Structure 1
Amino acid sequence: MTSTASGIPGIGPGRRSRGRRDHGHHHRPGLRAGRAVLAVLTALTLITLTACSTGPEEPSATKTAEHFGYLVNAPLETANAASNLGVSTNAQLLSGRLYPAVFVSGPAGQMIPNTDLVQTQVLPGANRQVIYTLTEQARYSDGTPITCTDFLLHYKAGVMEDLFGSHLPLTHQIERMDCLPGDKRFTVVFEEGEGGRWRHLFGPGTVLPSHVIARQVGLSEEELVTALQNEDYATLQEFAPIWRDGFSLREFNPELQVSSGPFIIDGVGEHGEVSLVRNENYFGDQANLRRLVMWPRGTDAAELADEGTLRVADVPDATPEWVNRDDPMNPYEIESGVGDLTDFLLLGDAGVFSYPGARQAFAACVDQQAVAAASSRVSGVEVPAVGVHSVTHDDPVRYQLADITDPHLAVDLERARALAGTTVRIGYVGPNERKAAMVEAIRASCEPAGITVVDASTEGDALGDLTRVTVGQWGQQQVQQGPLDAVLMAVDPMAEADTASARATTVEELRATETELWERVPSIPLAAQPRTFVIDREVGNVVVYTGLAGIGWNMDRWQVSSEDNGAARDPEATE
């Protein structure tokens, strides 16, 4: 993409690009214990980054405290944003700039074509067809060309979700994908009436390097394409777990971590911090920053700020204690607001929720207004209750769906009592005070209906922990017993809707989609997601964005005034 002052074309004058200023699938044992460690950081200038999280630690040439620090409000668990774990932990915050999307979702909601990577052409007809032509220069950081095989892997991993442990709902709308091994051109053909949201296909962090996974299991590109096209379980049984788990940051495998984006992972530190360096082989504009360090939620932000390394932060509280707004030398400014994403409960389809009537009954006792109030109280950002599945909570078209959605904002105890005597276990990535308060609000509103709601976040936290129906190699169905009945997480409805009407190009189609979703109830919308960012005034080109990729959606365009392009602020210097 051609650079502009804000780093991405298509940002209109209504969006402010921050200029430089003169002044200042499995439950994972031990996960929560590891997160607790993040809260205890010592002597940050001595923290070193390692190339691998196992074995003896080899310090990098420079210390963490000498780099540009970016703190995210999520754990950093995997670089695979298409896996159940990646979706549940919002891995797009990291991997959006490692594996860029075909269309970049901009801060004003626009879908910006990533022409550095691919050109697209839509053909008319009952079955929507999209032709993708990858640029000849598009390659991974190891020099391997990006080909249609990588996109075929995305598609097949999505439709073979039980084998791969994936969550890519829009892939279920694809009828077929025409791809020859090594080709730079391929065609996606959608089912009749589907594909209206095709721009959200191949989203941030979800098109992974197929060649490095194939190398691990000894498959050629031709063999991999054949296995994917034929959905050959026998051949893919060894391949799929590497796709699912191989991009883990806790068991960092540098052989898999090649990049198609402006940054590449250099190493993972002992506190879960991820060091990114400029990808010198990137086929687009080179990143302005040579290096930055992403810190996971649970990191002591005050310690980073005291060291002068914290430049951008996505935080859970609108009034972080470590920012002194009354200090004229305070280098930070804070921006809070209602985010683009919607907090949803994603429900299992087995166990207590094995039939739609049970899911409808549970939805009838959920008080979205109370949930939104709880979220607002803890975050310090006033967010609205949400009753719409199919579009973003701030889309003006929601008013034309209100007669369908608004009745579900009210508690209907009579209907909810159909589920009386049952227990619903809700998990989320924790510890998270705001989400704990939201679950407590659900517990309080469902209790009068005889439904027991349990905060099970210490037992499970990801989509792979749900009790649900799975499909095996020969199409046989079986129930996967998980510790959870529902997962609380933020969702982009545009990439999540997987109904027959997801094309939704007219209000009538949207109304049909919304009606069907409230009948089937695969999920329950709750409230808009609150967001707060803390931004160093000396950092330029930071454009606030609250979608899946977060404020780092254009972090390759961020700039700092220091000549070393990202070093820590000198605590002795005056501003």
Structure 2
Amino acid sequence: MRQTIGVLSAGALVGGALAGCSAKNQVPSIGYAVDAVPLSYNGGTTSGANGGAAAIFSRVSTGFFYTGPDGQPVADTDYGTAKQVPGDVQTIQYRLNPDGVYSDGVPTSCDDLVLEWAARSGRFTKAGAGGQVPMFDAASTAGYRDIEKVECQPGSKDATVVFRPGRHFLPWQTLFGAANLMPAHIAAQSAGVPSVVSAVQTADPTVMDKLAQFWNTGWNLTPDKLDTKLFPSSGPYRIDSYSATDGLVLVKNEKWWGLPPRTPRIVVWPKNTDLKQKMSDKAVGVVDIGAGSVKDLDLSGFSVNQVPGRGAEQLVLATSGVFASSDARRAFALCVPRKTLFDKLGHPGFDQKSGLGSGPLNSRTTQADSLYYAPSTGAAGKYPGGDTAGAQPALSSAGVSNPTVRVGYRAPDDRRAQTVAMIADACRAAGITVVDAGSPTFVPTQLGAGVDAVLGSTAGAPGPAGSLSGIGAAAALYTGQGLNFGHYGNGRYDAITDQLAADDDSTNVLNLDTEAENLLWNEMPTIPLFDTPRTIAFGNGMQSGVVNPTESGAGWNMDRWVLRR
């Protein structure tokens, strides 16, 4: 979807590979502190994607591709191979590894692809309050909604994915990836369905609704209430336990058919962890958090990397209540001090001259190191921030006087608390009262029902986010998508997004990007601030720690980690 210039090669930043460390003892368990909020094992659901499933489970629930250090899709040939077949109709042939087997002994099969497509195609609906609504709570249907069928014999290792005539999806390598392909046999057993493939082929609404109910919530993660039988692994690690006190424990999967993990146990400490205490207890070997999110964190004894991420730090606005009109949303954008926020909070520990992290972010969907970024984002020039004189008449046009804007985010987060405080100071003169509604239990679905704006990274994510393809970013504004927490809808934006996914002609891409940004700066469903800065640190003595400031986080290659002390 985007052509880019690599200003920062995150994959080149390797932490803690120290000469002579082989003489030290290898640590049998590594703590991985990441500011994701593990809500679901199923990264295809809204809660799973927003909760950071890709950063936690990419080496537990594998797929044909994963997100690499520069944000690009990387083939995982241990899982299987995918090949595009020449022809008028886009067709992809998938072949799963013949040796592939889940940790519960059930072979991986094309049934898993059929379940993923069915859940994310958008074609299975049921009656709702306002008409037909999707059965499956998919984070995004991008790409999957363009697929006509998945040819699969139940239990087979081969599948052929055929797209609809006239449709083409350029970033097809983002489909059927890590943390998204769920075990179809578990869904079938739990829903009381003999075969997922047969159920999808017959499309019986009652049967599909049973599958959907399990797919939506059956893989939810609740500390101290985890039936591990429901969470078989297709990767080097499997889930052993999850508790509020002991973290999410991943252990070596004895059924894994690829290279065994070099460290047998990884303990994931998510965002609600007392990180300072864990650091004091020496229970952490890898840190991957938003820069400045934990105040006065002592990282002595670590190799520290401060880098701009591919996630977009932004305010996602409701399209109801105080922000029901675009005039009100534009008024708020005028007073939000975007330039000042970047100067103070947007580039801690680094000073990029161009590309990622080099200035306030002026696009929702185009990466700052893209060739198209600068020429397509001229409309952002109207919104440097701090324009209280301009905000007041815009509020009057909206018929809104002295509004209160409640900004929610996953707390505690010192940088985001500072962000809200700075916005409150800047907007006060315009008659806008900004309230910090951050909470340890906050989730973006509260937008419009308790809060008026979400402060987070791409698609409101509290932790690792973003990729080179920008699929999640585009979906967060596409009508009816799970990640579209503000319930924004514009048919022209949807059409542009579909065109960008199918067209790689540079002139067309630039024109479409420019039209999209002009539209979005006018309707203001979100206010981009800056590329989300990340702090990624590896304990001294760590081998094979590689910075990945994307949705996959530092844990993208955790099975290669070795820590010696």
Instruction: State whether TM-score is above 0.5.
Output: yes
SS at the partner of 1:234?
A: helix
Aligned residue type for 2:305: E
Map 1:330-479 onto structure 2 (within 5 A): 331-352=301-322, 359=329, 362-373=332-343, 375-376=345-346, 383=357, 384-409=359-384, 413=391, 414-415=393-394, 417-419=396-398, 420-421=400-401, 422-458=403-439, 461-467=442-448
Q: CA deviation at 1:509?
A: 2.1
The SS at the match of 1:283 is coil
Number of the residue aligned with 2:494: none
Instruction: After TM superposition, give the deviation of residue 232 of structure 1 in Å.
Output: 4.7
Paired with 1:97 and 1:269, the residues of 2 have a C-alpha distance of: 20
Ranges in structure 1 where 5+ consecutive residues have no aligned partner: 1-10, 25-64, 326-330, 468-481, 562-568, 570-575
SS in 2 for 1:76: coil
> What residue identity is the alignment partner of 2:137?
G
Maintained 8 Å contact 1:405/1:514:
no
**1:85 matched to which residue of 2?**
47
Aligned partner of 2:135 in structure 1 is: 163
Deviation, 1:404, is 4.5
Q: CA deviation at 1:546?
A: 0.7
Question: 2: CA distance between counterparts of 1:459 and 1:557?
Answer: 32
Structure 1 residues 338 and 83, CA gap change in structure 2 (3 angstroms)? same
- 1:526 equivalenced with 2:529 (yes/no): yes
* Aligned counterparts of 2:241 and 2:70: Cα–Cα separation in 1: 33
486-495 vs 208-217, which moves further: 486-495
1:536-575 CA distance string (max 9 Å, x none): 12110111111111111101111234xxxxxxx5xxxxxx
CA change 1:118–1:66 in 2 (3 A) is: closer
- Contact 1:174–1:189 (Cα < 8 Å) also in 2: yes
CA–CA separation in structure 2 for the residues paired with 1:431 and 1:302: 12
Distance, in Å, in 1 between the alignment partners of 2:246 and 2:343 is 32
Structure 1 residue 236 corresponds to structure 2 residue 208 = yes
Give a deviation string over 1:176-235, Cα, whole Å, max 9, x none.
2323333421214157454122222234312211211221121122xx334445665432
Q: Give the alignment of 1:165-564 within 5 angstroms.
A: 165-171=137-143, 173-180=145-152, 181-183=154-156, 184-189=158-163, 192=166, 194-221=168-195, 224-228=196-200, 232-250=204-222, 251-271=225-245, 273-317=247-291, 321=296, 323=298, 325=300, 331-352=301-322, 359=329, 362-373=332-343, 375-376=345-346, 383=357, 384-409=359-384, 413=391, 414-415=393-394, 417-419=396-398, 420-421=400-401, 422-458=403-439, 461-467=442-448, 482-491=449-458, 492=466, 494-496=470-472, 497-498=474-475, 499-503=497-501, 505-507=504-506, 508-516=508-516, 518-520=518-520, 521-561=524-564
Which residue of structure 1 aligns with residue 488 of structure 2? Answer: none
Look up the equivalent residue of 2:308 and give its one-letter code.
Answer: V
Q: Which residue number in structure 2 is paired with residue 121 of structure 1?
A: 83
Please tell me the residue identity of whatever aligns with 1:532: T
Give the partner amino acid of 1:129.
Answer: T
* 1:496-548 Cα shifts (integer Å, max 9, x gaps): 21422332523322431452355255443221111112211211011111111
Q: What is the alpha-carbon distance in structure 1 between the residues aligned to residue 412 and residue 312 of structure 2?
A: 20
User: What's the TM-score, normalizing by structure 2?
Assistant: 0.76
| One-letter amino acid of the structure 1 residue matched with residue 55 of structure 2 | L
Q: Please tell me the root mean square deviation across aligned C-alpha atoms, in Å.
A: 3.4
> Identity, % of aligned pairs?
26
Of the three residues 84, 91, 104, the one matched with 1:142 is 104
Amino acid in structure 2 at the alignment position of 1:461: F
Q: Which secondary structure state, in structure 2, belongs to the residue aligned with residue 512 of structure 1?
A: helix
Aligned length: 490
Decide whether aligned partners of structure 1 residues 353 and 501 sit closer, same or farther in structure 2, where only a CA change above 3 A counts.
farther
1:392 maps to a residue whose letter is Q
| Bigger relative contact order, structure 1 or 2 (CA pairs below 8 A, ≥6 apart) | 2
Q: CA deviation at 1:314?
A: 1.9
Shift of the 367–305 alpha-carbon distance from structure 1 to 2, 3 Å rule, reads: closer
Take 2:150 and 2:237, find their aligned partners in 1: how far apart are those partners?
A: 30
Which letter maps to 1:435? R
Gaps of at least 5 residues in structure 2 are 1-8, 125-132, 352-356, 459-465, 476-496
| Contact preservation (8 Å) 2:252, 2:265 | yes
Alpha carbons of 1:245 and 1:271: their partners in 2 closer, same or farther (altered >3 Å)? farther
Cα distance in 2, alignment partners of residues 272 and 12 from structure 1:
31
